[in-house]
Structures are given as C-alpha cells and as structure tokens.
Structure 1
Amino acid sequence: MIRIICNSEAYTYNTYHMIKAFYPAAQAVCRVEEKASNYVTVLLENGRKITTGAADMPAEYSGIGKEAEVKRHIDVKLYHLLEEETGNSLSWGILTGVRPTKIAMKKLDEGMDEKAFVSWFHEIYMVSKEKASLAWEIAGREKELLERLDYDNGYSLYVGIPFCPTVCSYCSFSSGALADWESRVEDYLDALCKELKFIAQKSSLKKLNTIYIGGGTPTTLTAGQLERLLCCIDENFSREHLLEYTVEAGRPDSITREKLEAIRRHGVTRISINPQSMQQKTLDAIGRRHSVEQIITAYGMARELGFDNINMDIIAGLPGEDLHDMEDTLRQIGRLMPDSLTVHSLAIKRAARMDMEDLKREDGKTNEVMSGMIRSAERLARQMGLAPYYLYRQKNIAGNFENVGYAKVDKAGIYNILIMEEKQSIVAAGAGASTKIVLKGIIPMPGSRKKKMTRLMRIENVKAIDAYIDRIDEMIERKGEWLWR
C-alpha cells in the first residue's frame, strides 16, 4: 500500500490522483497532518520515500496567485520525482481535470497560436507535445461547431434509459439488468414521460438544439416501448431549431429491425452501435453476451434502413487484450466504415465489478500497450477520413490517457461537445440523470462550505430506478426551482 501524507487538505486531491496515475493497480491512502514538515510525503510500497517541501518552491511567484502557484510547483516536483522513480511519464502530465480542451479553448479565444500553446501547455502542465497538439486541434473544431448554437436561448435534452441486457463488468453507470426490472419498465416510462412533459412546458420559449437518448441501453426497451417514448418526445418538443437527435443503440443483442424502424420513423439523425471490442474472447469476459457477428449484422441492418450517421465505440485496455487484439478490432471496424468512432480508455470506478488489479499486466507494460492502442486507433480513424472533434478524461483511466471522438466533417456529435464544454444548458430526465443549467451570472454555490461561486447549477435525479419512479414529483420540483430562472 502507498501512504500519502499532506500538511494541507488542499494538496490531497492532485497528489492522490497523480499517484494512482503512476501506480494504477496499487492501493493508496491519504491523510492530512497539519504539523508535517513537508507539503507532501509519499511512502512507496518498495520502502522509498518521496517528499516535497518549502525548499522546493521558487523564490518568486508568477501572477496566477501564490496559493495556486505553490500547488502547481508541488505537482511538478512530485511528477518529476515519480517519473524518475518509475521510468514512466504521463501523456497529460500533472493535469487531473477531465476537460483539457477547455484550457485550449480559453487560450484560443485569447489569441494564442498553436505553436505557443503547445509550448506553454508542456511547460506549465508537463503535457506531452503530442497531446497538446491534439487538444488544440479539437478545440478549434469544437469552436467552429459551437458557433452554430444559441447559448442564451438554446438548450439540449438528455433522456436516460437505465436498463441493459446485462451489466458489463467495467460499467459504473446507474443501470440495471433488464431481467431484474422488466416488471417496472412501464412504471419507469410513466414517470419519465411525466418529467419530459414538465420540461417541455417549462422550456417552451427556449430553442431545443439537440436530443440525446442514452443509458443504459435505450434499445433494451421493446419496439412498442420505444415507440411510446419517441411519441412522447414528438408530441411535447418542437424540432424547429433541432440540429441533432441521437439514440444509443449500444448493445447489438438489443437491436431488432422493428426497433430500428421505430427510431428511423421518428426522425432520429444519429445512432450509436457500440461493440467495445471485436474480440469474442473479450466480449465473453466482460459480460457482453453477444457475438461479433451480431455487431456486424446490426450495423448492416441500420445501413440498410437508411441511417447515415452511425457511431461506434471501442475501449482500449480491456482485460486480456494486447496491441494485436486492438489492431484486429480496428481492422474489422475499418471494413464497416462508421461515420464516427469514439475511442475510450478503460476507466475503472468504485461502482464497477472490475477493479484495477484486473488490468495489471505481468510484463508491467500497461502504459506502453495502452499508448500503442490509442495511437493505432488514431491512425485508423484518420485513414477512414475521421478527424478528432471532442476529448475528455476520467478519473482512474488506465495509463492516465483519454477518450477521443473522431468523425467525418459533417457527422460530429454536437451533444458530445456540449456535455464537455458546459457552454449550453442540458436538461436531463430519467434515473441518475444530471441537469446542468448555465446561469446568466455567477452565484454562490448552494451548500458550499467554502463559499465557492458558480455559473453552472447541477440538479441530480436519484440513481435508484425504484426511487425515481416513486419520487418523480420530487425530481420535477427540483428542476422547477432552477429551470430558466
């Protein structure tokens, strides 16, 4: 076990996550000792000790503020010590935030050019020049797409379906196996439609720009249930300003011609068919319970029915896979030619049945293999004529890498960018759904003990499916307090 001692609570978060990035399979505990002589002390499993203290700080500080500069210098010092200790470096350096492109977007808006940004990002945050260039490229594409939107009067709608055929071993979403909830799906749709009608009524003077039906797996619903949900949306929301309508048809074992026909009939413009891997051994190991052939069949059926904007998701770093497996998956996807490809780096969270120990390679080359997988995915995407258009990171990503979406020029997922950049309000319905309201001004964050200020109000629905059904009026009341105030 790795033990971390900080003399201030302010240093615990970044230190813990940097340690986990360098030692993903190790257990780490962190405590605060205000009288400790060093800012941070790390006791490694091999008995070695790493420290950073006042002597490591510069004599003068830059204009970003002394407290922020101290934290940054602690992070930089620790990063170099861990880099020396492990012989590894991190592609995203000392960054622990999930949205590197927000930094790039800010610098782009300030007038910085790419060369200056790449140098600055590398110097300040230790980000590799390869990833800095990627962040800059994506920020430029995001900026171009987002300029089409009305931030003040526009909004997006998320609809959550928390059911799956089975729950994958790496999954931490608030979804349940359909077999456990089949008797309550209609009750869930009753509650969901009630919430959607309320949102539509409150948003009647706003412009709906994108709709995203996700989960879970929306196509776990029967064709009739899908029809009911899509009719509810049609009857209550205007499409006058709609730019994109997405339904995740994620699991091939949940897709039928009848369901795809219902989705097509209601004018959905984008669907996602997500194999995660084209290796049968991997699908079996992670609990997907469908075949590679079913993926190919579902994709072909969607093309046959006229869907011309299909996304596919894959995951780099799944247990038991090596670079050869990933390259074979990429070759098979290359033959299908989806309109967009989202490449996830495997992230293991506490709610998942899988843990980081499952990812540990006997040869100790997890980061090296992950890096090769991600490079191969980027190479194939570009060969297919797909360009990177959005990027985000998660805690506990194997190898400290990232998730990147690649798309044809006119097939980028607008909603995916909006969820990352937080420039437009997203109103969310369903169990576990999180509404984000972009406020007109900055206000004190409700419930913040440190009196933080915010311009983004988050309103969370309860995650438990039965609690959502039983407490739907409470979920509606929560939204009513903040929606378009």
Structure 2
Amino acid sequence: MIKVKLSNEQFNYDVFQIINLFYFFPDIKFVEEDYDFNINVGETVIDIQGQPESFKYFVNNVYKLKDEVKKAVFIYFSKNTTQELPWGTIIGIRPSKKALDLLERGVSDDKIIAEFKEKHVTREDKAQLCIDVAKFERNIVNKEKNNVSIYIDMPFCPTRCIYCSFTSNPIGKCKNIVMPYLEALAHEIKSIGEYILEKKLNIECVYFGGGTPTAINNEQFEYIMNYIYDAFILRNNVREFTVECGRPDSITREKLITMKKYGVHRISINPQTMNDDTLKLIGRNHCVEDVFEKFEMARELGFNNINMDLIVGLPGEKISHMIKTCNEIYKIKPDSITIHGMSIKRASRLHENMLNNYRFEVPGQEELNKMYGLTVELTKKLDMKPYYMYKQKNMIGNMENIGYTAISKEGIYNIQMIEEKQTVIALGADAVSKVVFLDENRHERFANVKDVREYIKRVDEMIDKKIVLLNTLYA
C-alpha cells in the first residue's frame, strides 16, 4: 500500500492518477498520519516529502494548479523510480485533440511541442505524433449534422482471450442463442434503417465489429450481412463499409465471398502477435501460418484494403518477439496497421491471474519503449503515416493505441468515432450509441444492455429508447 498525505483533497484524483502510472495496480490510500509521502500544495510551491528524497516544485501560474500538481508529482516519481514514461502527465483518452485545438487556433508546431513538454512533460516524439495525427484528421473529421455512422456488434468470439474485458462470449458455449441473437439484431437493424430513411440521414460509415463478426457460421453470417446491406448499404452512398474479421481461425472463403457480395470495402485480420507461443498463452486457437493463409485468401478475392491489429506488451513477450512480429508483418504488407498497447483491464482473466502471482509477466518500461520503437520503424518501412490515436486506462507504461495507414487506406470510421464529431448509431448487445450535438460541442450516449439474453428479450425497448434520444437531434 502507498499512503499519501495531501494538503488539498480536491487533487486526490489527480495525484492518484499520476502515482498509478508508476506501479502495477497500486493500492493508494490518502491518510493524515503514518504516510509514505506528504504532498503540500501551496499557491507558489508544491512540496513533496518522502523517501529517498524530498522535492520542491515552483508553480507556473500560466497553467491551472491541478496541471501543476500532476506535473510536480510526475517529476518526483520519475526521479525516484527511474521510469521513462514518454507521455508525461497526459492520461486522457484523446491526446491528439489537444494538438488539433491548438492547430485550429493557429499555433505553430514548435510552440505546440513546447507546450506539451512544459505543461505535460511529454517527450518530443509523442508531441509530434499528436500533431501528425491532428493534421491527418482535420480534413476528414465530420462537420455535418446529418452525417452518421453505424456500428453493429457481434458479441461472440471463437474463444475468449486472456486480456479481454469486452462482452465477447465463446461461441462454443452459446450456440443455442446465436440465431435468436441474430434475429433480434436483424430486427434492430431493419428498424434503425427505416428511421434513417425517414429522417433522410446520410450514412458515411458502417462498421461491423465485436467480439468477432466472423465467429458465426457461413449461413448465419450471410443472414445478418443481407440485413445490413438492405438497411444501410443498398440505398445509401456509404463511403466505408468495414468488417472486423478479427481472428484468422474464424475466417472462411465463403464469408469473404459474402463480404464481397454485400459491398464491404475494408476488412481487418488481427493476429495481435506473430509468435505461436504467445498466441497459445493468450488463448487464441490459430497459429502464425493461419494469418498468412487467410490474408492471401482475402487478397486473391480482391480485398485491397486490409488492416491488421497488433498488441505491444503481451504477456511473456520480449524484444525478440516484437522483432519477429514486425518482420513477419512486413512480409505480409497490409494496407494499414493498428498498434494497441497492452491494457490490463480489471475484468480480464489476465488481471486476476497477475494479482494472484500467476506466470504472466509483461515488459518493463524500457523494453516497452523499445518495442514501440520497432513498430514505428515497421510502419516507416511500409510507407505508412499515423492517422488516428487514443489511449486507455490501465495501459502498461501509459502508452497509446495508434493507427497507421498507406495512402488512402485509412479507416474513416476510426477517426469519426475517436474525435466524437459525428453521431454513431450502435446496434447489438453492449453497443453504445453516441449522439453528437455539433452546435453545442457535446454528445449524449445510449448503451444497449450487455447481456445477450437480455438484449434478445428487450430489443424493442433498446430501439425505442435509442430513437427517443436520436429525436432530440433529428426531430
């Protein structure tokens, strides 16, 4: 347990967030006595007393005091743990938004980098990454009220990965509810399709994700794809239709042909790693050879926009694992790559096992930084540019998720979803709709129920409540 005495409790959450960066799920408690660290926040000086040394930070009144408290605590723990956390005090989910706001106010790149360094102790390459992403996004980010995207959720997977905390049910144990779920989902798809036609909304993107959309069998996949096509593709000038195929062991030639038949533009085949030992450890039933096989099959059938997801910091992986992954992905040459940092969610088996001192180990900060460096080198060799980015809580090393793309192969839905400037109408169990009020710079959410059986029973309720919210914008 880490015991902290803090002179001003309004900064409890900020101090907790920063200390949390330096330790694995620490138990942090704020106390009045018998403390490990005493943080005294004054108007001009923040004084931190602890072991092995004490520290005085002189407040810069240009910034909010809360930002200065975070910076002072960050600098103190950086010195006393010797960890290099390249994002500094930036913990928020959308760091590129800061750069985009500054660019739109006419601030130069150099001044943006200087502000990231001075205010957040952010390393220069990460600040530059925010600028690069913001410049890519600014001509794509939605500006029209009537433009919407559609998200469809498939809550089944072939198996449940050890790091997963999503509503993804192993399909082998759920076969009796798959078809009832698809029928309920088809009903929601049809109802929302009719609403979109009635309100004359323009669908820019359709994204079929999960879970694993291809976890169901060939006939079931054709069944739901037909409903998606009729409701959202047939009578709309959709700019991007993506199916997140995900696991190579769930992809079949028949499903790829179905995707072609119904106008899919972009697919994602997600190996996460190109190391068979790691794949087995994290609970995936495919091997590296399957990745090559399914990718080549998709290319043969004419898919010319294929994304691949990789995870940096998987349990048990070392630099040698990441070198192999990058070398194998370079041979494949996908059209875009999404690099995810390992996030250890409290609802995952990985978190539970690590707390119980099980055999899982994750890379240390220095090794993690080098692994990210290898992915940057890979994307440069593939002539890709960063185009969207976000962060999550509990990411080891406080790192980032970042999408890289070849020319004109970016995932438009990813940009719209992350920047929150476009209404996303989400369908299926645990799907979260986000209605965006551009004029007011705000959004409201509506989440469908998580449990698949509850969703099946209450699908009409989900439709009605979603439409009530949508009508506050599209009355």
TM-score (norm 1): 0.89
Quick check: 1:129 aligned with 2:124?
A: yes
8 A contact 1:42–1:51 mirrored in 2: no
How has the CA–CA distance of structure 1 residues 59 and 384 changed in structure 2, closer, same or farther, with 3 Å as cutoff? closer
Deviation at 1:136, TM superposition (A): 0.3
Which residues of 2 match residues 257-296 of structure 1 at below 5 A?
Answer: 257-296=253-292
CA distance in 1, matches of 2:38, 2:326: 41
Give the corresponding residue for 1:88. 83
Q: Partner amino acid for 2:460?
A: D
Once residues 356 and 308 of structure 1 are traced to their aligned partners in structure 2, the CA distance between those partners, rounded to angstroms, is 40
Change (3 A) 1:111 1:355: same
* 1:393 counterpart residue number: 391
Judging changes above 3 Å, is the alpha-carbon distance between structure 1 residues 166 and 338 closer, same or farther for their aligned structure 2 residues? Answer: same
Which structure 2 residues correspond to residues 36-51 of structure 1 after superposition, within 5 A? 48-51=36-39
Displacement of 1:255 in angstroms is 0.7
Moved more, 123-132 or 87-96: 87-96
Equivalent pair of 1:178/1:220 in contact (CA under 8 Å): yes
Q: Which residue in the other structure is 1:56 paired with? A: 45
Q: Determine the structure 1 residue equivalent to 2:425.
A: 427
Alpha-carbon distance in structure 2 between the residues aligned to 1:299 and 1:42: 59
Unmatched 5+ stretches in structure 1:
443-453
Aligned residue in 1 for 2:196: 203
Mapped partners of 1:363, 1:431: distance in 2:
33
Question: 1:364 & 1:258 partners in 2: Cα distance?
Answer: 38
Comparing 232-241 with 253-262, greater Cα deviation is found at 232-241
Per the TM alignment, residue 409 of structure 1 is displaced from its structure 2 partner at its CA by 1.3
Decide whether aligned partners of structure 1 residues 457 and 331 sit closer, same or farther in structure 2, where only a CA change above 3 A counts: same
Structure 2 counterpart SS, 1:299: helix
Kept after mapping to 2: 8 A contact 1:4/1:28: no
Kept in 2: contact 1:18–1:94 (CA 8 A): yes
Please state if 1:247 is matched with 2:240.
no
Aligned-residue offset at 1:301: 0.6
Counterparts of 2:360 and 2:143, CA distance in 1: 51
Name structure 2 gaps, 5 residues minimum.
47-57
Cα offset for 1:11? 2.2
* Residue of structure 2 in register with 1:455 after alignment: 442
CA-CA distance at 1:121 after TM superposition: 1.1
- Residue identity in the other structure for 1:276: Q
Report the number of matched residues.
Answer: 455
Q: Normalising by structure 2, what TM-score?
A: 0.91
Aligned residues of 2:241 and 2:264 also touching (Cα < 8 A): yes
User: What is the Cα deviation at residue 20 of structure 1?
Assistant: 1.9
Question: Is 2:144 aligned against 1:145?
Answer: no
Q: Distance in 1 between matches of 2:70 and 2:323?
A: 35
What CA distance in whole angstroms lies between the structure 1 residues aligned with 2:140 and 2:174? 39
2:139 aligns to what SS in structure 1? Answer: helix
Question: 1:439-478, aligned counterparts within 5 Å?
Answer: 439-442=437-440, 455-478=442-465
Shift of 1:144: 2.5
Work out whether residues 14 and 96 of structure 1, in 8 Å CA contact, stay in contact via their aligned partners in 2.
Answer: no
Mapped to 2, the partners of 1:428 and 1:414 lie a distance apart of: 16
Which amino acid letter does the alignment assign opposite residue 185 of structure 1? V
- C-alpha spacing 1:392/1:440, structure 2 compared with 1 (3 Å): closer
The one-letter code matched in structure 1 to 2:172 is: A
**Mapped pair 1:161 → 2:154:** yes
Q: 2:416 aligns with which of 410, 415, 418?
A: 418
Aligned residue among 175, 179, 204 for 2:172 = 179
Offset at 1:140?
0.2
SS of residue in 2 equivalent to 1:318: coil
Shift of 1:59: 7.3
How much has 1:467 moved relative to structure 2? 1.0
- 1:42–1:215 Cα change, 3 Å: farther
How many Å separate the matches in 2 of 1:42 and 1:248?
52
Aligned equivalents of 1:98 and 1:267: distance in 2?
Answer: 32
Residue 448 (structure 1) aligns with: none
Residue aligning to 1:298: 294
Q: Is the 8 A contact 2:218 2:255 kept in 1?
A: yes
Give me the identity figure in percent: 38
